[in-house]
Amino acid sequence: MRLLVTGAAGMLGTDLVAAAGRAGHDALALARTDLDVLDAAAVRAAVGDARADAVVNCAAYTDVDGAEAEEAAATALNGAAAGHVAAAAHAAGAFTVQVSSDYVFDGRGAEPYVESSPTAPLGAYGRSKLAGEHAVAAAAPGTHAIARTAWLFGAHGPNFVATMLRLAGERDALSVVDDQVGCPTFTGHLAPALIALAEARAAGIHHVAGSGACSWFDLAAATFAARGLDVELARGRTEDLGRPAPRPAYSVLRTERADTPVLPPWQQGLHAYLEETVTA
């Protein structure tokens, strides 16, 4: 399969290109400097020239707090640009895999969200990602997959686990929020799952996140335990952080589809990440 990856220099995009190569696929990697996905004409030209069987769109506005002040910019990149990519792929006969987010849900429930659960984003970032879902569905009817995922961490970009390890080297005690529960997802596990969706041309919405669930506090504690770090951890509250963007308190993702790849438990993802970053 010939695979085109947009946003290929990011944390997920880097792992995706590597996973495609390991699977024997021909991957064409386009970073932000190679393709401005906001430019519909440029996207049409690039996708047409690529002659790809599938396009995975990893280009995204990812600053959750920044989106509150820059919703138009976030929506342009996460919404309209996603539609440009899907429309170009559809015209070229290629299948689109669009990466979306648990932030399309309000997190006010107590049961895992499945693909058919009603969406109700709390903030600008979630609204922008939902706009992308709608744009892709409209631009590529029957030839797209929307992969909602959550709490990404990987070796090729800034992430929560890396931040915790850095802070552990600077402080003896930390407070980490314990009132947000979700599914930590290792990009090294997510990448091959996205490729599998492209291979199968498994159309529609899929929830693809690390199996199990935990709070940010739990993830920090597991990180320190795995590295043998002695850090005093206190349970914090989201409201005490004073962040601009609201966060869903409970955004656990599960799938109701038999054709959706199931990722390993988040603990396995954490250990794989820690092993990769030790040897990197």
Task: For residue range 212-251, list pLDDT tens digits in order.
Answer: 999 999 999 999 999 999 999 999 999 999 999 999 999 9
Query: Do residues 269 and 186 touch, judged by C-beta distance below 8 A?
Result: yes
Cβ contacts of residue 85 below 8 Å, gap of 6+? 6, 37, 43, 47, 55, 57, 59, 96, 98, 136
Mean pLDDT of the chain: 97
What tens digit of pLDDT does each residue of 18-72 get? 999 999 999 999 999 999 999 999 999 999 999 999 999 999 999 999 999 999 9
231-236 contacts, C-beta under 8 A, 24 or more apart:
231/168, 231/171, 231/172, 231/173, 231/174, 232/172, 232/173, 232/174, 233/173, 233/174, 233/175, 233/176, 234/173, 234/174, 234/175, 234/176, 235/175, 235/176, 235/177, 235/178, 236/175, 236/176, 236/177, 236/178
What tens digit of pLDDT does each residue of 182-207 get? 999 999 999 999 999 999 999 999 99
Nearest to 100 by CA among 1, 12, 201, 211: 12
Q: How far apart are CA 160 and CA 13, in angstroms?
A: 18
pLDDT score at 280: 44
> How confident is residue 175, by pLDDT bands cut at 50, 70 and 90?
very high
Q: Is 250 a catalytic residue?
A: no
> How confident is residue 278, by pLDDT bands cut at 50, 70 and 90?
confident
pLDDT score at 28: 97
Nearest to 226 by CA among 168, 149, 174: 168
Domain ranges in the chain? Answer: 2-159+184-212+251-265
Three-state SS at 25: coil
pLDDT score at 64: 97
Q: How far apart are CA 208 and CA 191, in angstroms?
A: 10
For the domain made up of 2-159+184-212+251-265, give the CATH fold.
Rossmann fold (3.40.50)
Is 6 a residue whose pLDDT tops 70? yes
pTM (2 decimals)? 0.97
Q: Annotated catalytic residue: which of 103, 113, 125, 273?
A: 125
Strand partners for 4: 28, 55
pLDDT score at 52: 97
